[in-house]
Amino acid sequence: MDTHTPQQMPAQAPPVRIAIFASGGGSNARVLLDHFRGSYVGEIVLLATENPHSGILHFAPEYGVPAVVFPPQAHRDGAYLLELLRSYRIELLVLAGYLKKIPDAVVHDFPQRVLNIHPSLLPAYGGKGMYGLRVHQAVIEAGERYSGMTIHYVNEVYDQGQIVFQERLPVGEGMSPEALQMAVLKLEHKYYPKTVEKVAQTIQIADK
């Protein structure tokens, strides 16, 4: 007689539903898509942008992920974005080079659920208008010996939400802003997927 009682397998919570917003080339969006392919922790279910030329629109079909271009009124009061995020049952919003400010209504409805990446060691060289090469130019002009990248939660103020992870690198003698940008971007690609995964894991455990 078989007296063996089958062990109850611990129920695995479904992957956290992730949306990525990206305005530019989308290299961070791409490394995130690669990282979460087949993951039990997170699933990227939506790509979105306000820029009809964003790189994400080119590679979204490769990953079979729907990509949305926002209509002009999308950022007026948050209603459009909230409806979109709800309709895709998004649990974590990841900004990857997204240039528009996220409306307060969205931030309030997604507390500690919106992540951003910034190419400097915040709080230094952040804030409105600090993006792209401008950040790296400012770092070099100030003669900083170190720069790096910051991953933080998004709150109502540009680049001021709670910091989740930072990594620094030395600014080389005579380094150009372009070279610094490349070096920082490499760091971003290395750490953004791992950090998003850690945050998703926390959400997955909390929601179980």
74 binds ligand GRF (CB under 6 A): no
24 binds ligand GRF (CB under 6 A): yes
Instruction: Write each residue from 106 to 125 as x if it is in contact with ligand GRF (CB under 6 A), else as -, in one continuous string.
Output: -----------xxx------
22 binds ligand GRF (CB under 6 A): yes
Q: Are the C-beta atoms of residues 161 and 3 closer than 8 Å to each other?
A: no
Choices 19-27, 84-92, 140-148, 199-207 (CB under 6 A): range interacting with ligand GRF: 19-27
Q: Is 16 exposed, middle or buried (0-12, 13-18, 19+ CB in 10 A)?
A: buried
Residues taking part in catalysis: 118
CB 53 → ligand GRF: shortest distance, Å? Answer: 12
Considering only residues 26 to 55 of the shown chain, the ones binding ligand GRF according to CB under 6 A are: 26-28
Q: Alpha-carbon distance 110 to 196, whole Å?
A: 15
193 binds ligand GRF (CB under 6 A): no
Residue nearest to ligand GRF according to CB distances in the complex:
97
Q: Are the C-beta atoms of residues 125 and 144 closer than 8 Å to each other?
A: no
188 binds ligand GRF (CB under 6 A): yes
Among residues 118, 119, 123, 115, the alpha carbon closest in space to that of 95 is found at 115
Q: Are the C-beta atoms of residues 120 and 126 closer than 8 Å to each other?
A: yes
